[in-house]
Structure 1
Amino acid sequence: MIGIIGGYGEVGHHACLTLQQYGIGPLKIGGRNPEKGKAKQSDLLPGAIWEKVDVEDDESLAGFIAGCDLILNCAAPSHRYSRRIAKICLQHHVNMVDAGIDNNYESDPLDTGDHTIVYAAGATPGFSGLFPIWLGRQFHKVHSLLSYYGTSGQISTAGAEDYLEGALHPNHAPRAAWRNGIVPNVLSRKSGITLPFFPGEITLFPLFDDETHLVAQRLELDNGEWYAAVEGEKSIAALDSASFEYKTNPKAMIEKLCFAVEMDTLGRSPYFIIMVQLTGESEGEEKVKTAVYEIGQIIPFCGKIAAIIVKAVLEGKVKPGLHHTASIEDVGYVMDHLEKTDSTHSIQIIDHSIEELSFEEEGTL
C-alpha cells in the first residue's frame, strides 16, 4: 500500500497518475476532503482508495500511515509538515518520499535507523541538483560549474510560502559562490540579462543553499556559481522587499508575491528551464559542455519526479537513511525514467560554453 498525503492536489495527482502507469499500488490517497478529490479524479484513478487525513493532527496522520509500505508526502507548505510526517512514518517503520523539504534537515537530521526518507523530490530543489551531477558523468574530472534555472507560471500560496522560507533560511548563503569551499558575498545580482534558451530579459539572483553545496561536493568542484533567473518587474520588486516584509507580515508578503507573479506571467507561456555549463577533463583533454533541460508545465513534472523517486525506493535503489534527492547515487535511473514519461520536454547537450552560445544567438539575430 502506497499512501499519498495531499494526493489530490496538483503535484500529488500527477504523482498518482505516474505511479499508476508504473503499476505501483494499491494507492491510498489522503487529504482533508477526500470526497472532493474522489469526485474529480476517481475516473482517472479507478483503483485508488480515498481516505481522510488531517496533516495538523498526529493521530489522524498515524492512522493513515499505519499499514502503508511507503508514504509519499505532497502536502504543502512542506516546511510546516515534512518533518512532522517523517517522524510519524519512522514511528510506524514506514519509508517516506517527500516532494517538499524541511530546511533544517542538514543542520538537524532525523535518525532513520533502517528506514529510508528521501526529500526534495521535485523540480527545484531536487532535479536541479541531479541534472548537473548527471552531466558530470561525461567528464573524468569536473573543474567548474555555471548554472541558471528559471520558471514562469502562477504560484500557489503554499508554493510561495515554501519559496520564501527557503530563500530566507539561514542555510541560504548570501551571494555565495563555491571556490573549493563556500565563499559568501562574492557574487552580485545582474539585471537586464539575456541568456540562450531563456525568453526575454531576466534578472539573475545568486543562489547557494544545501542543494548547491551538495552538488559542489559530489562533483568535487574547484569553482561553482548558481543563479536563479527571474523575469518580471513586479516579481523582482516583491522579492526585494521579502526579507523584511515576510518577517513582519508573512501572510501579506505571500499574497504580494503571488499577485506579482500572476501579473508578470499574464498571457505568457509557462516554462521551467535549467541550463548547466561544466568545464573539466575527459579522455585527457579539457572540455566544456552545456546542457539545457526545458519543460512547459512544472507541476506535472514535479509529480513525475516524486513518483520516480518512490519507484527507486521500492526497488532498493536508495539505501536506508535521510537523503536529499540530489544525493541519490543512481542518477541515470532517474533520468532514464524521465525520458520514458509522457512529459513534453527537450534536452540538449552542446559542446560549447554559454558565452559562445550567446554570441551565436546574437549572430543569428
Structure 2
Amino acid sequence: MIAVLGASGEVGRHAVAALARAGTGPLRLGARRPGAIGTEEAGPGARVMAVDATDPAALARFCAGSRLVLNCAGPSYLLKETVARAALAAGADYVDVLGDDPVAEALAAAGAPAAGRTAVLSAGTVPGLSVLVPRHVLALTGPGEAAATALTVHAGGLERATPTVAADILLSLTTGGVGGERFGHPLAAWRDGRREQRVLRTDESAEVPFYPDRVAVQPLLTAEIERLAAALPLERADWYNVFPGRRTRALFTALPTLPVDSPEQRAAVIDRVIRASEADLAGADPYYRMVFTLSAPTWSRTAVVRAGDSYRLTGAVAALTVRALLAGRIRPGLHFAGDVLDPGEVVAELARDGAAEVEVFATAAPGGAPAQLAFEDGAL
C-alpha cells in the first residue's frame, strides 16, 4: 500500500495520477477533506481516508500498514518532520516533495530512519529537479572536455499560487534553511568554494533567454545549490527566481515588511499572494520554466525545462522518486532526491509522462557564454 498524504492538493493529485499511470499501487489517498480527492485517475483499489496531518492519532492510522508514505501536504515548513516521524514509526519508507534541511536535520538528530528504512526529501521541482537537471547536463560532457566551472539558473513562471504554496512562501522568510536559517540568501552567490553575500543584483525588467517577455529576477542562493556547487565542484553558481507577473513581484518585494504576527495577519497576507497570482494570470496562459546554463572556459550547455505548471512537475518528480525507491534503486538511509535519483532517467521520464519538455543546447563559446545556441539533445 502506498499512502499519499495531501492527495486533494495540486501536487498531490498530479502525483496520484502519475503513480496510477505507472501502475504503482494500490493507493491510500488522504486529505483533511476527503470529498475533495478525485479518484478517477487513482486506479483500481484506491482507498480514500480523512486525515489531519496535525492530529497524531489520525496520522498514525493513515500510515499504518503502508509500504511507503508520500507526503504532498503542507505547509511543509509548518509540518516539518511530523509526517516523516509518523511514517517511519509505522515501518514505512518516506518520500517528501519538500521537507528540505529542517526535516533532514530533525531526522538526523533523532537517528532516523532506522536501519533498513529510507527517507527521501526534496523530491519536487525546487528543490529536487533544480539539481537533477544540472547533473544531467554534466553527464553530457564529452571525453577531453574541460570540467564545468559555472552554473547559472533562472526559474519561475506564471501560475496560480495555492494556499499551501502561499503559506510556505511566507514561512520561508524565517525558516526552511540550514540550522534554522531562512530559505536561501537573497543576492548571494557561490564564488570559489563558498557563499558570498550581496554579489548579485535584482533586475525588474530583464530579458532572460527562453522566457516570452521581460521579467523581474531576484537572486537567491539556497543550501541545495550550495551543496551542488561544492560537490561538482564549481567556481561560480548564480540562481535567479523569475517573476513574470508584476503584481506578484511587487508583493514579494513587500513581504518582509508586512505584519504577520497574528493568525489573522498571516491569513490576510496569504490571501494577498493568491489574489496577486490570479490577477497576473488573468487573460494569460500559465507556464513554468527553468533555464540552466552549465559552462567551462571552452564550452557551454543550456538546458530548458518547459512545463504547464510547477505543480504537475513536482508531482511527477515525486512519483518517480516513489517508483525508484520501491524498485530498490535508492539505498536505505536519509537522502535528498537530487542526490540519489538518476538524472537522465528523470529527464526522460518527465518527457514521456508529458509533465515537461526538456531541451539541451550547446556551444563552444569561450567564457561559457551561450552565444550561438545549437540544438544538441532535443525534446527528450
TM over 0.5: yes
Q: Distance in 1 between matches of 2:340 and 2:172?
A: 21
**Residue of structure 1 in register with 2:133 after alignment:** 131
Distance verdict in 2 for CA 1:315–1:82, change over 3 Å: farther
**Residue of structure 1 in register with 2:198 after alignment:** 185
After superposing the two structures, state which structure 1 stretch, 346-355 or 325-334, moved more. 346-355
Check conservation: 1:214, 1:326, Cα contact below 8 A: no
Check conservation: 1:34, 1:52, Cα contact below 8 A: yes
Q: 2:172 aligns with which of 162, 166, 169?
A: 166
Give how far 1:102 is off: 4.6
**Residue of structure 1 in register with 2:34 after alignment:** 34
Distance verdict in 2 for CA 1:135–1:246, change over 3 Å: farther
The alignment of Structure 1 onto Structure 2 pairs a total of residues equal to 352
After superposition, the CA RMSD in angstroms is 2.1
TM-score, reference length from structure 1: 0.90
Q: Which amino acid aligns with 1:22?
A: A
Q: Distance in 2 between matches of 1:161 and 1:296?
A: 22
Task: Give the secondary structure class of the aligned counterpart of 1:206.
Answer: strand
Task: Give the secondary structure class of the aligned counterpart of 1:15.
Answer: helix
Distance verdict in 2 for CA 1:313–1:342, change over 3 Å: same
Q: Distance in 2 between matches of 1:181 and 1:268?
A: 40
After superposing the two structures, state which structure 1 stretch, 212-221 or 327-336, moved more. 327-336
**Residue of structure 1 in register with 2:371 after alignment:** 356
Q: Distance in 2 between matches of 1:58 and 1:19?
A: 26
**Residue of structure 2 in register with 1:225 after alignment:** 238
Distance verdict in 2 for CA 1:328–1:43, change over 3 Å: closer
**Residue of structure 1 in register with 2:163 after alignment:** 157
Q: How does 1:196-215 map to 2 (within 5 A)?
A: 196-215=209-228
Give how far 1:207 is off: 1.1
Q: Distance in 2 between matches of 1:103 and 1:261?
A: 27
**Residue of structure 2 in register with 1:74 after alignment:** 72
Q: Distance in 2 between matches of 1:272 and 1:41?
A: 26
Q: How does 1:241-320 map to 2 (within 5 A)?
A: 241-245=254-258, 247-248=260-261, 249-280=265-296, 286-320=298-332
Task: Give the secondary structure class of the aligned counterpart of 1:200.
Answer: coil
Give how far 1:22 is off: 1.5
Task: Give the secondary structure class of the aligned counterpart of 1:294.
Answer: strand
Q: Which amino acid aligns with 1:193?
A: A
Task: Give the secondary structure class of the aligned counterpart of 1:192.
Answer: strand
Write out per-residue CA displacement over residues 37-62 of structure 1, whole angstroms, 9 at most, x where no aligned residue. 2xx43465332111222211111111
Distance verdict in 2 for CA 1:303–1:48, change over 3 Å: same
Which runs of 5 or more residues in structure 2 are unaligned? 176-180, 374-380
Which runs of 5 or more residues in structure 1 are unaligned? 359-365
Q: Which amino acid aligns with 2:18?
A: T
* 1:17 has 2:23 as partner: no
TM-score, reference length from structure 2: 0.86
- State percent identity of aligned pairs: 29
Distance verdict in 2 for CA 1:42–1:265, change over 3 Å: closer
Task: Give the secondary structure class of the aligned counterpart of 2:335.
Answer: strand
Q: Which amino acid aligns with 2:65?
A: G
Check conservation: 2:300, 2:370, Cα contact below 8 A: no
Task: Give the secondary structure class of the aligned counterpart of 1:273.
Answer: strand
Check conservation: 2:154, 2:239, Cα contact below 8 A: yes
Q: Which amino acid aligns with 2:275?
A: F
Give how far 1:30 is off: 1.2
Check conservation: 1:317, 1:330, Cα contact below 8 A: no
Q: Distance in 2 between matches of 1:212 and 1:65?
A: 32
**Residue of structure 2 in register with 1:112 after alignment:** 113
Task: Give the secondary structure class of the aligned counterpart of 1:198.
Answer: coil
Distance verdict in 2 for CA 1:246–1:265, change over 3 Å: farther
Distance verdict in 2 for CA 1:14–1:5, change over 3 Å: same
Q: Which amino acid aligns with 2:133?
A: F
Distance verdict in 2 for CA 1:357–1:298, change over 3 Å: farther
* 1:148 has 2:154 as partner: yes
Q: Distance in 2 between matches of 1:157 and 1:231?
A: 20
After superposing the two structures, state which structure 1 stretch, 138-147 or 53-62, moved more. 138-147
After superposing the two structures, state which structure 1 stretch, 340-349 or 191-200, moved more. 340-349
Q: Distance in 2 between matches of 1:246 and 1:138?
A: 48
Q: Distance in 2 between matches of 1:217 and 1:105?
A: 21
